[in-house]
Every structure is written in structure tokens, then in C-alpha cells.
Chain A
Amino acid sequence: MIKNISNLGDAAVYCDFGTEVNKSVNSEVIKYFKALKKENVESINNLTPSYNKLIVSYDLRKTNFKEVKKLIENLNINETQDKNNTKIEIPVCCDDQFSLDIKRLEEKLKINRDKILKNFFRKEYFCYMTGFIAGMPFLGDLDENMRVPRLETPRVKVPKGSVALTEQFANIYTFESPGGWNIIGNTPLDIFDNSKEVEPNVINPGDTVVFKQINIEEYNSYNDK
């Protein structure tokens, strides 16, 4: 449930679902996000779900805080509850050339490579939000024994497609960008295709994601098909 609705400036509504970061709080955020998206309100120009907040921005020339707040309060959330969430399989290769931080992960977690990969690939992940760079999904939760902090010194360039871990989350670098997450592997799948006018992103907030381990031959031939 929304704990508090307030204004963020004069052109956005700030829906506060609390301060905790967990799947049940985030699922509530996603429910509201999806319900509002479905309403397709012309005066609303953006919805930004995150771990425990939903920001609804609107065109102040067309509506105002009071109207949008009322709309949110009157949403019928139960009816729009999404039972069949999309489940997406992401191929990941953990060949040495890709798992750039495997040594660091072994040291920090005090478990060996095989066990790390086994833990990582057997889980189902939930997409809490996408952002930071276009299309980057924040996927959780990693098991308690798989959680490591960010790199002390972030990389200037993280290769595109890198799959990386930090604390309770995994993410995928949709473009080459600076970054400080611990890289475990790389996906040959284009997670964000900016040549697509519609749905350029493969993973949306609220989706379920599973990672499938592939070998280097499968990785190299993945985009040949």
C-alpha cells in the first residue's frame, strides 16, 4: 500500500511505499505503475517506479497535483493485479574473458567459482526497476551469502552486456559505461535495442528473469542465427 502521497514540485506526484527494499514492497510499486500505465492518461507524461517509490509526472498545462492524486487514490489495484508476469531467460557466458571479477567474488564471498555460479544460475530474479542507463534492469534478490559491496574503484568502462552483482542485486550493462558492480559474466543478447521504436527494452519492471549459463561456443554463435 502507498504510505503517503505528496507533491514533488508542482509537476509530479511522489508516492511513498516506505523505506524498505524488498520484493513485497516493490511489487506494490509495480502494481500501481502497471495500473496507471494501463489507464493511459494523456496528461501524465512519465511514470518512474523504483524500489519503494513511484513518481508520476504530469503536464502542468493540462492537469494538477490534486487531480492526479485523486486518480491514484481511486485506482482499482486488485482488478489490475497482474498474475501472469513475463518470464525472460537471459543467456550468460562466464568464460574467464567475461567474468572479470570472479577472483574478487571468490575472495569476498569465501566460496569457490563453481559454487558462486551454481548459486547465481539456480535463482529466479525479479526486476525492481530499470534505469540509471537506458534499459538497465535492477534484479533481485541474491541470496544472503552472495552479497558483495561495489568495487572500491569503479571501472571507467564496463563492457556492454556485462552481468554484474552488488549487494542484493544483479544488473546488466545495456551499453558500455562507467560502473562499479562486480562482473560475473556477459550476455550476447541485446537487452536494450535503441533502433526499436516500440519496446526497445527486453526487461521491464515487474518481470521475472532467469539466467541460463552458456559456453563460449554458444556465446560466439549466438548472434549468427
Chain B
Amino acid sequence: MINNFEIIRAGVNTTFQDQGRSNLYHIGIPFSGAMDNRNYSLANKLTGNKLTSPVIEFAYQGPHLKYTGEKINIAVTGDVVFKIIKSGTEIDGNCYESYQIESGDQINLISTNKSVYGYLAIGGGLDLKLQWNSCSINTKANIGSNDGKKLENGQKINILNINSDQTKKKTSYINSKVENIRVIKGPNFDYFSEEGKKIFFEKEFTVSKLSDRMGMRLEGSKIENIVNTNIKSEGLIKGVIQVPADGNPIIMLSDHGTVGGYPKIGVVASVDYDRLVQISPGSKIKFKEINLSDAETLFKLYEMETQNLLLQI
């Protein structure tokens, strides 16, 4: 028997994601992987999957799926409005709670509420062809499962196994919003004027509609460069904030290119990355300076909190 989901409506930017692919930057292959790592792990844990299993990631509007096959369990994480349709009856779904789905049931992931990314984990995992040990789809470079393309209407998603334990699992978790994104000064911080540095740490920026999995573009007061608006291309990591000649910062996100030639004014502290990616276009963000040792300590605490959340499930 084939157990699968049919995609009735694919949604805006629906992809398969996992922990991403490492050790390939030197040949130009991006890291990719789930944007919000905490919600990715929680979704897998709620369905009893391995924490590094592939999941369905969606942005803004998620997919509407119809299931055919043996009973399975699913879970949704993020701040997602969704419905489960069972023989004509609609149930309002709760995030951070697993549900059992049977043949003919539908899941309608309507929207990510004032956030960007949501996750749907399917118990037993997805039957996907991996590329360089990861399913993660990078639509710009056409890398990953599904030929590196986002999911489309009418496609089928095959289930790998059926979990024997489908008992209900739930946890209470509220995605906290961050007021300030903490940033460590970058190697080219002194390329910018005193006024520019002040603007960077004191003014609010608006997240542009042009943001995607590659980068978050910001608009606001221009940050003036007084040294050179280009540097010789060098490596990038996620969270790097580059400022091109137009003075508007761009934050590198998980699908970012491996090298870049714009000055780096700062790097987002790892502790704030999961929350950064959830800030939707049109929202305001403000940066706050932090030093390395504080950033390391805060990340340790954040990671401990994630482990505790996982243990509670």
C-alpha cells in the first residue's frame, strides 16, 4: 500500500528541509536547512521522528494536503493557523500537538500568524532522494530533493514508514518575539562613518518584501561607507549583515551564497537567529550590540532551553 499526501494547494514557498548540508562551502554549495531550527526539532519530536528527519517547511501560506493510506501521526509547529478536515468536519488544529490522520483526511495549513515559517512533520518520515546527505531544497541553486524546486499543486509526497507509536504528544510553547536583534560587530565595522554606526545600532529598520530564504533585506536610514563599498570576495556565514553601496543592510539567511563582496558591518548572534527569520516583511527591527562571550553564554542558555522543551515531549 502506498501512503501519501496529495498536494491540493502547494502554498507560497513550500519545501522539504532538514539540518542542511555541511562542509561544501569551499565548492560553492550553500548550507540551507530549516530556517527556524527550534521549531524544526520540536515538530520531529512531537511525531516521534529522529530530530534530523526531513519536514515540510512553508512560508506565510502553507500547503493544503489530502492523505491516502494507513493511519499516521503529524504535528505542526510555529505560529500556524490550520485545520484538519475529517469526513467533512473541520477541526481547528493546535500547534505543538500531534494528531492522528487517516485515509481521506485533509490538512489545510492556512497561514503563519504574524510570522514567516511553519513546519509540518510527518511520523515515519518522508520518502525523499537526498543530495549531499540532505533533502533541503534550495530553489535558487536547484539543489536538494524534488530537483531543488519548491512543491507544486498536484504533486504527491510519499511516506517512508509508519510509526508504531502514535499516542498523542503535546507541549506548551509560545514563540517569543524579540524586540532587539543582538549583533556582534563585523570585520568591516570601521568602514562606516560614525553617523552610520550610530544609525545601525540606534535606528529601526523595516524588513523588505524582497526577503527570502537567501537573505533579509532591510530599509531605513542609509548607512554611509567611508572606506570602500566593495571588498575582495570572501566567505559568508548565516547571520552576516552586509551593507552594499546603497547603504541598506542585507542579512544572510540559510540559503545565502557562499562568498560575497560587500563590507560586513555585523553578524547576528546565534541565539537570535531562529527568532530573526520569523520577522515578517513590513515589521521593524532594531539591532543591539553584544560581545562574543555574552553571545556564547546566551546561546548556551537558548540551547539548554531547546533541550528542555524536547525532553518535555
A19 within 8 A of partner (CB): yes
Knowing A131-B257, A132-B233, A132-B257 are in contact, say whether A48-B296 is a contact too (CB < 8 A).
no
A49 within 8 A of partner (CB): yes
User: Complex: how many Å from CA A200 to CA B143?
Assistant: 13
CB <8 Å contact, B26 and A46? yes
Interface residues on A, range: 35 or more
A1 within 8 A of partner (CB): no
Partner among A10, A21, A134 whose Cβ is within 8 Å of the Cβ of B232? A21
CB <8 Å contact, B28 and A131? yes
A57 within 8 A of partner (CB): yes
A135 within 8 A of partner (CB): yes
CB <8 Å contact, B235 and A48? yes
Partner among A9, A52, A54, A194 whose Cβ is within 8 Å of the Cβ of B240? A9
Partner among A9, A12, A19, A130 whose Cβ is within 8 Å of the Cβ of B26? A130
CB <8 Å contact, B27 and A135? yes
A100 within 8 A of partner (CB): no
User: Complex: how many Å from CA A57 to CA B256?
Assistant: 14
CB-based nearest B residue for A54 = B235
Knowing A10-B299, A48-B258 are in contact, say whether A53-B234 is a contact too (CB < 8 A).
yes
CB contacts (< 8 Å) of B25 on chain A: these are 46-48, 55, 57, 131
User: Complex: how many Å from CA A45 to CA B257?
Assistant: 16
CB contacts (< 8 Å) of B267 on chain A: these are 8-10, 12
A129 within 8 A of partner (CB): yes
CB <8 Å contact, B27 and A130? yes
A71 within 8 A of partner (CB): no
Q: Least Cβ distance of B126 to chain A in Å?
A: 19
CB <8 Å contact, A134 and B233? no
Those of B181-197 within 8 Å (CB) of chain A: 184, 186-187
Q: Least Cβ distance of B294 to chain A in Å?
A: 9
CB-based nearest A residue for B264 = A8
Those of A101-139 within 8 Å (CB) of chain B: 129-136
CB <8 Å contact, B237 and A12? yes
- Contact mask A30-61 → B, CB, 8 Å, 1/0? 00010001000000011111111111010011
- Contact mask B7-47 → A, CB, 8 Å, 1/0? 00000000000000011111111010000000000000000
Knowing A10-B184, A46-B22 are in contact, say whether A134-B235 is a contact too (CB < 8 A).
no
B65 within 8 A of partner (CB): no
CB contacts (< 8 Å) of B186 on chain A: these are 8-9
CB contacts (< 8 Å) of B278 on chain A: these are none
CB <8 Å contact, A50 and B240? no
User: Complex: how many Å from CA A136 to CA B27?
Assistant: 8
CB contacts (< 8 Å) of A201 on chain B: these are 27-28
Q: Least Cβ distance of B289 to chain A in Å?
A: 13
User: Complex: how many Å from CA A65 to CA B284?
Assistant: 31
Q: Least Cβ distance of A135 to chain B in Å?
A: 6
Q: Least Cβ distance of B35 to chain A in Å?
A: 16
B292 within 8 A of partner (CB): yes
Partner among B27, B184, B235, B270 whose Cβ is within 8 Å of the Cβ of A50? B235
B268 within 8 A of partner (CB): yes
CB <8 Å contact, B27 and A46? no
Those of A179-225 within 8 Å (CB) of chain B: 192, 194, 197, 200-201, 204-205
B137 within 8 A of partner (CB): no
Sample of 15 further A-B pairs with CB below 8 A, known A10-B269, A19-B232, A131-B26: A14-B187, A45-B23, A48-B259, A50-B233, A50-B235, A51-B234, A53-B235, A55-B25, A57-B25, A131-B28, A132-B258, A133-B141, A134-B27, A197-B131, A200-B132
Can you offer 25 A-B residue contacts whose CB atoms are under 8 A? A6-B187, A8-B187, A8-B237, A9-B239, A9-B268, A9-B269, A9-B270, A10-B267, A11-B239, A11-B270, A45-B22, A46-B25, A48-B236, A50-B232, A55-B25, A55-B235, A55-B237, A65-B296, A129-B233, A129-B259, A131-B233, A132-B233, A132-B259, A200-B132, A201-B27
- The interface of chain B, by Cβ under 8 A from chain A, is 22-29, 31, 131-133, 141, 143, 184, 186-187, 232-237, 239-240, 257-259, 264, 267-270, 292, 295-296, 299, 303
Pick the 4 closest A-B CB pairs, nearest first: A48-B235, A9-B267, A55-B235, A131-B28
